[in-house]
Amino acid sequence: MSHVHIHAPAGYYLGQTRRVGAQRWTTIGKQSRTAKAAMVKAVKAMKPNDKRARVLFCADWYDPLIVMELSR
């Protein structure tokens, strides 16, 4: 008999933006439940000088993972 292990860590999503020529990312808003909601918040918060937006998945036991990235 075999057992199936489903790995589904509990966590949250964060949206971030970055300006042209900047090295650091700016975190936008609060935690989101879905990646799509976090990306919408990040895109709406982008200013004319912002070049990139991304979404991170943050879980308790793991480093943040980049889920999506958008560039203009």
Is the model's pLDDT at 7 over the cut of 80? no
**How far is Cα of residue 31 from the mean position of the Cα atoms in its chain?**
9
Q: Residue 36 belongs to what H/E stretch?
A: helix 35-45
Mean pLDDT of the chain: 90
Judged against a pLDDT cut of 80, whether residue 5 lies above it is answered with: no
Asked whether 18 and 52 are in contact (CB, 8 A), the reply is yes
pTM: 0.81
In the chain the first and final C-alpha atoms are separated, in Å, by 51
Considering only residues 10 and 37, tell me which one the structure prediction assigns the higher pLDDT.
37
Q: What is the pLDDT of residue 4?
A: 81
Q: Where are the domains of the chain?
A: 13-71
Taking only the tens place, the pLDDT of each residue in 45-71 is 999 989 999 999 998 888 899 999 999
Backbone region of residue 19 per phi and psi (left: phi > 0; alpha: psi in -120 to 50; beta: other values)? beta
